[in-house]
Amino acid sequence: MRMTWDKVENNDRAHPFSDTAGSGVASSFPGRPAMERRGRKHSRRAAKAHLEAQGKDPVIDEREERNPFTETKEEDVTAEQGEREPLDETDEYEGVDTNKPEDIAAGISEDLAAKRRRIEMDTEARHKAKKSKRALRKKQLKKHKRDYKHSLKLLNVLDEFIIYEQKDEEEEEKEEEELIKIFQEQQKRWYRHRSLRRERLRTMKLLREEFVKVIKKFEDYYHGVFSDEDSEFDN
């Protein structure tokens, strides 16, 4: 019985909801009167001494005269501690981590799973980026190949056009040279013909002059002959 009394006193000393200033357990049990710890200890010691002086067993009398609050103290404290919501990090009264190992393991597992998901998402994003880069590079290479082929075709067309133009120009130069030769020959012929015409004209002029002279001589001779005949007829 003495162990029970000492246990109650120890529970009163180590109660987690007791005030640090000695305000009792009134905050944990609403509707109960509050008593200071020092006054309560002093009253218990005085009652115990009074019972011992009367020759009575203080533990038995204490159990008989115990009020309902004292009888249900441990049960109420245990029930209240069971109904109290668990804190996530630490108990603000006791300063001890109240999380269970299962909860801690579950939290660690959730963190690891979240990290794993993030790593998987990052890996998937990198794979997608690599795939997009490869696709873009393939597309660019394909475009460069197509442009290179078109450039080669255009270069071939330009080469053919240049060759055709060179041939055409050479042919035109040959034709021009031939035309120049023909023109030169015709010009020579024309010069010859012109010189011949000049010579003919000159000869015609000379013949005319000679013919005019001959005619004048003939006229003079004719006038002389007729004048002589007229004079003879007159005589």
pLDDT tens, residue by residue, 9-46? 444 444 444 444 344 444 444 444 444 444 555 566 66
Model confidence over 44-68: pLDDT tens digits? 666 667 666 666 555 555 555 554 4
**Residue ranges, the chain, pLDDT below 50:** 1-38, 67-96
85 in the Ramachandran plot: left (φ > 0), alpha (ψ -120 to 50) or beta? beta
Residues 6+ apart with CB under 8 A from 90: 96, 97, 98
pLDDT of residue 80: 46
State how far the alpha carbon of 217 is from the alpha carbons of 164, 212, 213, 223, 226, in Å: 78, 9, 6, 10, 14
Closest C-alpha among 8, 41, 7, 28 to residue 93: 28
pTM of the predicted protein model: 0.32
